[in-house]
Structure 1
Amino acid sequence: MIEEKHTMRLPHNAHLAIADGNRFVLMRNAGSPDEPRLVQEAAPDLEGTNFSAGVRKQDEAGQRTGSTDLNELAYAAAVAEWLNKAVLENRIEKLGIAADPKTLGEMRRHYHKSLEAVLVGEEAKTLTGESTERIEKTLLSS
């Protein structure tokens, strides 16, 4: 398991993946670790198809009550798989990840060793939908 890093110092040109159970945005730091300037790179259109751990057949009552949203967990797995592929194809050399705690936990289960090697930090915070300026401030205050 990856040790949670409490400070996210995003190097110049490092990527930042911002995700929750429904959205994923990839940004790049065009600034420095002390003065981040995030630029949106991509917002891949992903479909959650990895219903792992044998939970595909969860009863509908559990889904209706929201006790476990398998679609959100599958989406988190899809984000991790997309990031793994980007790292393996050398499109991402350094990576920070910001996601709500549930999404981050599911993503961690799918990290490839190569992704773990380029990971510079994680934030267990919901930042999807936040302004770029607010995300930059969060990076500085973490």
Structure 2
Amino acid sequence: MKVPHKALVALADGEHFVVLRNDGQILDPKLTKVAEPDVEATNFSAGVRHQDHVGQRIGATDLSELAHGAAVAEWLNAKAIAGDFDDLVIIADPKTLGEMRRHYHVELKNRLVAEIDKTLTGEPLERIEKALADA
């Protein structure tokens, strides 16, 4: 995958959120940790429609995790609207990514280079760089 130089890489799951920056070349990403924003999950109704039939019956969908995904999207929206970055790659587990997509602002969509639906939070930077290069 082509990851533009200085592009931000948002790494999220239902509990964690890390912002990285590509200081390497477009085909050879070298990531640097920029921030670990503390987002407040306030939109607990976010995931209600996200539940599948089985999840609704057995209560398997964690609304706190989905609310965290919505909060991450809101944080990224604010940064995109403020013009704080030009290019963005989002890496998130499939459920979080699905919830985040529901909250993308048009400015965020315009800056979005790619999305990867994998859980890579907690992985070393080298593994994340390899996942980007291989995507």
Aligned residues: 128
Is the aligned partner of 1:80 residue 2:73? yes
Q: 1:58 is matched with which residue?
A: none
Corresponding residue of 1:19: 12
The ranges of structure 1 where at least 4 consecutive aligned residues each deviate by more than 6 angstroms after the TM superposition are: none
Deviations 1:30-66 (A, max 9, x none): 01121111000000011211123594xxxxxx89x65
Q: Distance in 2 between matches of 1:69 and 1:130?
A: 23
Q: Distance in 2 between matches of 1:76 and 1:53?
A: 9
Question: Among the aligned pairs, what percent are the same residue?
Answer: 59
Q: Greater relative contact order: 1 or 2 (C-alpha under 8 angstroms, separation 6 or more)? A: 1
Structure 1 residues 132, 108: CA separation in 2 closer, same or farther (over 3 Å shift)? same
RMSD: 1.7
Distance (whole Å) between structure 2 residues aligned to residue 44 and residue 113 of structure 1:
22
The answer on whether the counterparts of 2:89 and 2:115 sit within 8 Å (CA) in structure 1 is yes
State whether structure 2 residue 46 is matched by structure 1 residue 40.
Answer: no
* Unmatched tracts of structure 1, length 5 or more: 1-7, 56-61
Q: Which runs of 5+ in 2 are unaligned?
A: 49-54
Is residue 69 of structure 1 aligned with residue 62 of structure 2? yes
Richer in helix (by share): 2
Q: Quote the residue 1:3 is aligned against.
A: none
Residue 119 (1) aligns with residue 112 (2) = yes
Report the TM-score, using the length of structure 2 for normalisation. Answer: 0.89
Alpha-carbon distance between aligned partners in 1 of 2:6 and 2:82, rounded to the nearest angstrom: 16
TM-score (norm 1): 0.85
